[in-house]
Structure 1
Amino acid sequence: MEIRLLTSAAIAAANDIVMRAYQSPSRLTELERYLRLQPDGWFLAWESGQAVGLAGTIDYGDFAYLGLVSVLPEAQRGGIGRALMRQILAWLAARDCPLVLLDASPVGQPLYQKLGFITTDASVVWGRAAATHPPSAVRPPMGGIHLMEPTDIAEVVAYDRPRFGADRTAALADLLMSHPRRAAFTRDAAGCITGFAIAQPRILGPWLADDVSSAAALLAWAWALDEPPTGMLVPAHNAQAAALLTSAGFAVQRKLAHMRLGTGATRDRTTHYGLASFTLG
C-alpha cells in the first residue's frame, strides 16, 4: 500500500471511494472545496495501481477537523483506514497542531478510540420530515436580517472566530462564493451581529446564533429560499437547537460521536446551531 497526496487529477477516484464507502450521492463539489482550502492535507491510499482509501483534514491552526475517512467496501478491514489516520496525524503533528477533532460513526469510532481519541459530545443529523413546517411566530431581531456580501466577511469572521474557536476566513469566503445570496446574518438594535447562516444545497450550515430568536429568524429565512436546505448537523450540547428544530417538525436521523485528540481548550458549541460539514466543523 502507498499513500500519496490527493491531487485534482485523482479527485474523481476520491469521489468514487466516498460514494461507495458511504453509499452517498456525489461529493465532488465538496471534495473540490476541501482541496482548495487544504491542498496539502488530503491523502489517497493506493493498492495495485488503484485508489482504495481517502482521508483529509482542514487545519485551522488552533485545531484541525478531520473528515471523510473512507475505504472501498472490498478493501475494508485491511488496515487502510488506520494507515491514512496515522499519515494525517503525523502531518498535523509536524505542523504543531495541538488538537484534532472529528465526528465518528459507530463503525469508525473504535478505530479512533484505539488512536487515542476521546468522545466529548455528539453531533446530530436532523432532517425534514412529513410534518416539517416553517418556524412559527418568528420575530425578526431588532436590527433585521441581511444578505451576506463579500464585503461583510471580515465582520462575520470577527463574530465567528471566538465562537468557532479559530479563524476560518478562507472557508467562509469559499462557501459564500459558492452560494451567493444564500448567506445571511442578523443584527441587534445596536447593529451588532447576533448570528449568521449559509444555506448549502443539502444542509443549513454553518449556522451560529447567540440566542434562539436569531437562530429561528435565520431558519425561517432559509426556509423561504427557492430550494431550502433539507437538513442540519447540530451539536448535541445545543439544547435550544434541538427544541427549535423539533418545534418546526424536523426529526433526528442519526448521531455521531464528536471526538478529540490532543490539548487545547474545550470549545463551547452552544452557539452552533448547524455545522458547515463534518469536515469543516
Structure 2
Amino acid sequence: MKVSDSLRVDAFSMHIGDIKDVELDQLHALSISVQWPHRAEDWEFLRQTGSGIVALDEIGRVMGSAMWFPHGDGFATVGMVITSPRLQTNGTGQWLMNQILDAVAGRHLSLSATRASRRLYLSLDFKPEKTVYQCQGEARIAKGFASLPLKGAVRQLVADDLAAISQLDAVAFGVDRSELIGRLDEQSIGYGLFHGQDLHAFSLCRPFGRGHVVGPVVASNDADAIAVVSPHVVRNTGQFLRLDTHVGAGDFASYLVQSGMIVDDTVLTMSLGKHPPNRNRAATETTTTYALASQTLG
C-alpha cells in the first residue's frame, strides 16, 4: 500500500519534499535542534552522496528528515532520521520511515539506532545486531601504551591507492561501496599498512562536526588498526577527534581511551531484510571494519 505523502499533525499539515530542494541552513537548524554535531558542510556531503526526504510544514519549514545511501542493487544504509522535538511523539518519525521503506523496497537495510529511536525501528521489524561505541575527545599521544608487534610499513595513502582501499573495504564491509569510498577519499587524509605492495589495513580521516572523524578503518587485527589510526592522533593532537567502532574491548579499545577518545555514547546497529550473500561471507573473513565511515553511512 502506498504511503501518503501528506500528514496532519495537531493543527497543521506536513508534506514530503526532496532533501536536495531545501536550503542547507534549514537542515543544519534541524540537526542543531536535536543536538547532533553535523555542520552545514556535513549535510551537503550527505546530500551529494545519497538521497533523502524532508517533512515540510505549511509555510515550508523543515520539520523532519530521512536519508538512504544505496550500495549496489541489494543494500542500503539509512540515516539522518530526525524529527523536530515538538513532533517526536506525533508519528512523524514512523511516517518518514515508511516513506523510506517504500523508496528502497527490496533492499537489505542497515542503520544506527539511538536509544530514543529503537522502539520505532523495532516496530518496523528491524533486528538488533551490535553496539556502536561513539569514542571522542581531545586527541593526545598515548604515551603509556605499549607498542604491539607489527608487520609491514605505514605510509600516507595517495590517489593510486584508491582501488586497493575500495577492495579492502568491500571485503570487510561485505558490500562494494567504491563510490562512497571515492567520495570520502576526496576529502580525507589516509594512512595504509603495506606488506610490500599489498595493502593490509587503512584509515581515513576527514573534517566532521566539532573537529575530525576517523573512519572507515579496516584491518585484520588490533595492532594493524592501531598502526593506521595513530598517525591521525598525532596530526590532530590537542584537537577534537571522533571514531565510531563496534570494538568495545581489547587493545584497540584501550588505545582509543589512552588517546583521548573515550566512549561518549552508544547506538545500536539494526538491520531489516536478508543480508546480501557477500555480507554473510564477510563475517567469516579476518579483515574487519574497525571504525565506521559514520553512524549514517555505516
TM-score normalised to structure 1 length: 0.87
- Answer yes or no: is 1:185 the counterpart of 2:182: no
- Cα gap change, 1:258 to 1:27, in 2 (>3 Å): same
- Cα gap change, 1:183 to 1:13, in 2 (>3 Å): same
Q: Which region of structure 1 is more displaced relative to structure 2, 49-58 or 250-259? A: 250-259
Equivalent residue number for residue 252 of structure 2: 241
RMSD across aligned C-alpha pairs, in angstroms?
Answer: 2.5
Deviations 1:97-131 (A, max 9, x none): 2x111111110000000011110111111123798
Which residue, 69, 74, 78 being the options, matches 2:81? 69
Q: Distance in 2 between matches of 1:87 and 1:239?
A: 40
| Aligned residue identity for 2:48 | R
Deviations 1:210-232 (A, max 9, x none): 12221111122111115665221
- Answer yes or no: is 1:17 the counterpart of 2:38: no
User: Helix, strand or coil: the match of 1:230?
Assistant: strand
Equivalent residue number for residue 116 of structure 1: 125
- Structure 1 segments of 4 or more deviating over 6 A? 129-132
Equivalent residue number for residue 169 of structure 2: 160
Deviation at 1:248, TM superposition (A): 4.4
- Cα gap change, 1:134 to 1:215, in 2 (>3 Å): farther
Equivalent residue number for residue 113 of structure 2: 104
Equivalent residue number for residue 261 of structure 1: 272
Q: Distance in 1 between matches of 2:248 and 2:288?
A: 10
- Cα gap change, 1:90 to 1:237, in 2 (>3 Å): farther
Equivalent residue number for residue 290 of structure 2: 273
Native 8 Å contact 2:165 2:199 kept in 1: yes
Count how many residue pairs are aligned between Structure 1 and Structure 2.
Answer: 272
User: Helix, strand or coil: the match of 2:116?
Assistant: coil
Deviations 1:221-263 (A, max 9, x none): 1111156652210114775532432454542211111101101
Equivalent residue number for residue 209 of structure 1: 219
Return the structure number with greater strand share: 2
Q: Which runs of 5+ in 1 are unaligned?
A: none
Counterparts of residues 46-61 of structure 1 (less than 5 Å) = 46-49=56-59, 50-61=61-72
Equivalent residue number for residue 30 of structure 1: 42
Native 8 Å contact 1:136 1:248 kept in 2: no
Q: Distance in 2 between matches of 1:191 and 1:145?
A: 11
Q: Distance in 2 between matches of 1:130 and 1:214?
A: 19
| Aligned residue identity for 1:218 | V
Native 8 Å contact 2:133 2:248 kept in 1: no
Q: Distance in 2 between matches of 1:167 and 1:216?
A: 24
- Answer yes or no: is 1:174 the counterpart of 2:183: yes
Q: Distance in 1 between matches of 2:234 and 2:27?
A: 34
Q: Distance in 1 between matches of 2:252 and 2:21?
A: 37
Q: Which region of structure 1 is more displaced relative to structure 2, 80-89 or 165-174? A: 165-174
User: Helix, strand or coil: the match of 2:142?
Assistant: coil
Which residue, 216, 224, 231 being the options, matches 2:242? 231
| Aligned residue identity for 1:102 | L
Native 8 Å contact 2:170 2:177 kept in 1: yes
Native 8 Å contact 1:65 1:102 kept in 2: yes
Deviations 1:2-43 (A, max 9, x none): 11111154332122111112x1344322221111112xx211
| Aligned residue identity for 2:162 | I
- Cα gap change, 1:43 to 1:79, in 2 (>3 Å): same
Native 8 Å contact 2:136 2:241 kept in 1: yes
Native 8 Å contact 1:123 1:235 kept in 2: yes
Q: Distance in 1 between matches of 2:139 and 2:295?
A: 25
**Percentage identity across aligned positions?**
24
| Aligned residue identity for 1:52 | M
Native 8 Å contact 2:67 2:100 kept in 1: yes
| Aligned residue identity for 1:124 | Y
| Aligned residue identity for 2:100 | I
Counterparts of residues 118-133 of structure 1 (less than 5 Å) = 118-128=127-137, 133=142
